[in-house]
Amino acid sequence: MEVSAVRQFMVSADSGRFVQSAQDGEAAARDELRAAAEGFEAIFINTMLKSARTEAFADDLTSSSAVRSAQSLFDMKISEAVSGSSNLGIADAVVRQLSPLVRYKG
């Protein structure tokens, strides 16, 4: 094998590793964006649940701080479960809007 052919092979192998590394980085950036969008959706759902609970159940039975704390934790878990399993479309919209702005910087 000639020296120039060996050099050509080494350059192309290094380029392939760089391209693969960039692709892996872009996939990681997309995954991070998706996770952040789903987190935003969970916060949005949690806010809706808190608002609905405040308006619907403002009575003396649920006015203790222990009950309010338990309801807050329950609402948080429900909002996380709903955002991860349902398709409200909020996370999808956030990903669609922000994905052109997310670039891998490696």
The reply to whether 95 falls in a domain is: yes
- The Cα 70–Cα 73 span in angstroms is 5
pTM above 0.85, yes or no: no
Number of domains in the chain: 1
Nearest to 38 by CA among 77, 85, 104: 85
* Percentage of residues in the chain having pLDDT higher than 70: 65
Q: Which domain holds residue 89?
A: 3-101
The reply to whether 106 falls in a domain is: no
The reply to whether 59 falls in a domain is: yes
pLDDT (tens digit, 9 = 90+) per residue, 35-83? 999 889 888 888 888 887 776 566 656 667 787 788 888 888 888 888 7
The reply to whether 13 falls in a domain is: yes
Q: Are 86 and 38 in contact (CB under 8 A)?
A: no
The reply to whether 96 falls in a domain is: yes
